Homo-oligomer: A and B are copies of this chain.
Amino acid sequence: MTTRRPIYLDCDTGIDDALALAYLLASPLASVVGIGTVSGNVSAAVGARNTLDLLALAGAADVPVALGANDPLAASFHGGAPWVHGSNGVGEVELPASGASLAAESAAAMLVRLARAYTGELRVVAIGPLTNIARALELEPSLVQSVTIMGGAALAPGSITPVAEANIWHDPEAAALVLAADWDVTLVPLDVTMASVLEETHRQALLASSAPVPRALGEMLAYYFRFYEGIYGRPCSAMHDPLAAALAVGAVKAALAPVVHAAVDTSDGPGRGQTVCDMRGLYAGYPPVKGARCRVVLSLEDDFGPHLVETLLGHFEGTTAALAEAGSVA
């Protein structure tokens, strides 16, 4: 039997955050021990509400959810990206309201507590702006853990600007602290997430499910696909956040992931929010770089879409069937 890795998920739920959360609940390699929310796709508060509702729908209302930072370190929250994720963050899909409450602690405090409770074991999966992770570093600078970040762009174009990806652009000062901290970071940038495309056939498979979580995700993705149709020229989407989750738990392997020096542009120039990754080893096949700490995932061994859909359907259809059977026995 495989040991499940304890996961702290930091998110701004968000359609692809919802996919990542459902994936982590479904994965036999993960045990989600805590979730913090942060403003990004939506406000931290709306993201927390969406997270609680999704957990309830998934039969995982026992996972604690902590509210995180509303504002980035050096600015005020800009209001989110309703044109990508809908005004409610989940593509205008109405999820059944969970009765669960938020944890009494902040997201940063939860992360510090979990890092102590699962010393050397906790994996941090950060799929929103890095404000909470930076705050946790302030609370405990020696918070040495494995951190996987969906964010940035190494050689690929940016999303919010020609060179800046949304999560990093939203709070460059926090990202700069996180990338400069004394830990190993895996960056899952647009280079690999934009190349990992969820197609309409995948969405239809989710919609056709007997289980409510895959169906809700398939409905949300209709909204997400409409935004990405303007980028790819066909209805489909990138798989930013769930890919970071799958890489963090080791279910998906990187084909090319050089470890390089990386910094974040916190200037007010046109590069603000860019992850400045030193990819100059490209021409010699990325030889090892002394002192480098940032692993930048550039490509995958296998296509991610089928694994994502199979994992979601396999888990949620199984639990739904078990619940139905339990109900019929009772």
Contact = CB atoms under 8 A, between A and B. Distances in A.
Contacts of A158: 280
A162 B231 contact: no
A194 to B, nearest CB: 6
A56 B282 CA distance: 39
A163 B163 CA distance: 10
Contact of A162 (B156, B266, B279): B279
Contact of A271 (B231, B276, B280): B276
A276 B277 CA distance: 15
Contacts of A186: none
A207 interface: no
Contacts of A270: 263, 265, 267, 271, 274, 276
A265 B269 contact: yes
Contact of A267 (B261, B268, B276, B284): B268
Given A163-B274, A233-B284, A233-B287, 19 more contacts: A155-B155, A156-B282, A157-B280, A159-B280, A162-B279, A162-B280, A194-B283, A231-B280, A231-B284, A233-B285, A263-B270, A265-B269, A267-B268, A267-B269, A267-B270, A269-B269, A269-B271, A269-B272, A271-B271
A278 interface: yes
A232 interface: yes
Nearest to A282: B157
A271 B265 CA distance: 7
Contacts of A284: 231-233
A163 B233 contact: no
Interface of A: 155-159, 161-163, 194, 231-233, 261, 263, 265-272, 274, 276-280, 282-285, 287
A319 B233 CA distance: 54
Count of this chain's copies in the oligomeric assembly:
2
Contacts of A261: 162
Contacts of A267: 267-271
Contacts of A271: 163, 265, 267, 269-271, 274, 276
A231 B269 contact: no
Nearest to A276: B270
A157 to B, nearest CB: 4
A276 B231 contact: no
A228 to B, nearest CB: 9
A163 B232 contact: no
Contacts of A232: 283-284
Contacts of A287: 233
Nearest to A285: B233
Given A194-B283, A276-B162, A279-B162, A157 B157 contact: no
Contact of A279 (B157, B268, B278, B279): B157
Contacts of A280: 157-159, 162, 231
Contacts of A285: 233
